[in-house]
Chains A and B, each alone.
Chain A
Amino acid sequence: MNGKGFLRDNVLLGLGLVLMIAALYLIFIYVPTERDMGVVQRIFYFHVPLAWVSLLAFSFVFVFSILYLWKRAMKWDILAHASAEVGVVFITLVLITGTIWAKSIWGVWWTWDARLTATLVLWLTYLAYLLVRNYATEQTQGARFAAVLGIVGFIDVPIVVLAVNLWRTQHPPALIFEGGITSPMLLTIVVSIAAFTVLYILMVILSAYMKNSEIEINYLQYIAKSN
Chain B
Amino acid sequence: MGNMSYLFAAYTIIWAVVFGYVFYLYRKQRKLQRDINSLKDRIDEQK
In the complex, the chain B residue whose C-beta lies closest to that of A99 is B10
Are A103 and B33 in contact, CB atoms less than 8 angstroms apart? no
Q: Beyond A40-B6, A203-B22, A224-B43, is A50–B29 a contact (Cβ under 8 Å)? A: no
Query: Quick check: is A3 within 8 A (CB to CB) of the other chain?
Result: no
Contact-residue size bin, chain B (C-beta under 8 Å from the other chain): 20 to 34
A40 to B3, CA, bound (A): 5
Are B3 and A39 in contact, CB atoms less than 8 angstroms apart? yes
Please report which residues of chain A, range 21-47, place their CB below 8 angstroms from some CB of chain B when the two chains form the complex: 38-40, 42-43, 46-47
Query: Quick check: is A2 within 8 A (CB to CB) of the other chain?
Result: no
A188 to B39, CA, bound (A): 49
Please tell me which stretch of A67-75, A112-120, A154-162, A206-214 contacts chain B, meaning at least 4 of its Cβ atoms lie within 8 angstroms of it: A206-214
Please report which residues of chain B, range 1-47, place their CB below 8 angstroms from some CB of chain A when the two chains form the complex: 1, 3-4, 6-7, 9-11, 13-14, 17-18, 21-22, 25-26, 28-29, 32-33, 35-36, 39-40, 42-43, 46-47
Are A217 and B43 in contact, CB atoms less than 8 angstroms apart? no
Are B22 and A213 in contact, CB atoms less than 8 angstroms apart? no
A207 to B32, CA, bound (A): 12
Are A39 and B14 in contact, CB atoms less than 8 angstroms apart? no
Q: Beyond A217-B39, A220-B39, A224-B43, is A206–B25 a contact (Cβ under 8 Å)? A: yes
User: Which are the 4 A-B pairs with shortest beta-carbon distances?
Assistant: A213-B32, A220-B39, A40-B3, A104-B6
The chain B residues found within 8 Å of chain A, CB to CB, are 1, 3-4, 6-7, 9-11, 13-14, 17-18, 21-22, 25-26, 28-29, 32-33, 35-36, 39-40, 42-43, 46-47
Given contacts A40-B7, A92-B17, 13 further A-B contacts (CB under 8 A): A38-B3, A42-B7, A43-B6, A93-B14, A96-B17, A97-B13, A100-B6, A199-B18, A206-B22, A206-B25, A210-B28, A213-B29, A213-B36
* CB-defined A-B contacts under 8 Å, sample of 12: A46-B11, A50-B14, A89-B18, A96-B14, A199-B18, A203-B22, A213-B33, A213-B36, A217-B39, A220-B36, A221-B39, A224-B46
The chain A residues found within 8 Å of chain B, CB to CB, are 38-40, 42-43, 46-47, 50, 89, 92-93, 96-97, 100-101, 103-104, 199, 203, 206-207, 209-210, 213-214, 216-217, 220-221, 223-224, 227
